[in-house]
Amino acid sequence: MTNLDATRLRALLDGFPRTKVAILGDIMLDRYVWGDVNRISQEAPVPIVEVREESARFGAAANVAENVASLGARATLVGVVGDDDAGRQLLSLLTGRGVDIESVVTEPGRPTTTKLRVIAQSQQVVRADSEVTSDVAGEVEAQILDGVRRAIADSDVLIVSDYGKGVVTGTTIGAAISAARDLGKMVCVDPKESHFASYVGVTAITPNQKEAGAAVGATITDEDTLLAVGWKLREQLEAECVVITRGEHGMSLFMSGGELVHLPTVGREVFDVTGAGDTVVSTLAVALAAGASMEEAAIVANHAAGLVIREVGTASVGLDAIERSFSAAGEGERVG
């Protein structure tokens, strides 16, 4: 088990602001309506939400970029938004967080992917999605390819944030991984089941249990099926590490040298797992770029995920919060 004492943790975290991260993926805007439910509608058997406030947050690859920025690293985002109010709001929010949006393409006629969640008493009442999921093509695809190649050349690591909304395609994944490999850059992927065949040779991939099982035609139900799926997926993808996130059971690492590591969850309270995968892949990538070993990076990512699941909706964490999480867990001398 890896030792990660306070001195080593501090050295890694101090390196985060020196790292540069390219992110290729599906960009979303998460809108929230917050309120209370005290009665049922007479028009239909549905709750009436008395609205208290509304807010907007980053979603999908935009949330990955925001997480990277919150960790102090430089984030360059490559993706697509629509020529609409949601797209303009999202770009303004990203700029405000210091994310480089030069390679974000605005595509007229394609709505910015938007998810509207209505929350009452900390529970999601309903979600409404506005999106087009067709693959990017033509000039838009060409701009994406140019943008991701430039971003990779100027970064230490590439994150692919695949939500199946049309930006991450066989062509864009192939070009991005090829460019990263040619330049000796690491690649970390938060995957979508339909694209697993395109992720061969990546540094790390972070599927959840359902995604990992589906990728190899199995279902994870216990320790034996977890091991079978994890090792089969690592072999198929030839990845340095397959990180299977397991909700309240933490995460499991299947590494190229045959090493298996189980990390228990550090989430003490779970309010919402929305965006936890974004936090895992973001923190893992930044930590690797800062010089962490795979296991060290996963340990730090595990703590970051344990913090965001305490919040309703997508969230991000900073370096101080991660350090406090280690201290609270009594892991100043040994972690894992």
Rounded to 5 degrees, φ, ψ at 59 are -130, 155
C-alpha 126/C-alpha 123 separation (Å) is 9
278 is catalytic: yes
**Residue 108 DSSP one-character state:** T
Closest by alpha carbon to 186, among 145, 231, 245, 241?
241
How many CB atoms neighbour CB 235 within 10 A?
13
Please count the CA atoms within 13 angstroms of the CA of 175 that sit on its side-chain side. 19
Nearest in space to 281 (alpha carbons), one of 302, 264, 306: 302
Tokens of 56: 């907007």
Integer CA distances (angstroms), 148 to 66, 79, 112, 126, 142, in order? 18, 9, 19, 35, 10
Distance of alpha carbon 11 from alpha carbon 138, whole angstroms: 45
Q: How far is CA 202 from the centre of its chain?
A: 16
Give the residue ranges of DSSP H helices in the chain.
Answer: 6-15, 61-70, 85-96, 138-153, 170-182, 209-215, 223-237, 276-289, 294-308, 319-328
For residues 161 and 24, the answer to whether their CB atoms sit within 8 Å is yes
Evaluate the CA torsion angle 204, 134, 315, 277 in order and state its sign. Answer: negative
DSSP state letters, 285-323: HHHHHTT--HHHHHHHHHHHHHHHTTSSSS----HHHHH
Single out the catalytic residue among 182, 224, 278, 320. Answer: 278
Q: How far apart are CA 13 and CA 333, in angstroms?
A: 16
The first and second tokens of residue 187, run together, are 């690649």
Among all residues, which ones are annotated catalytic?
278
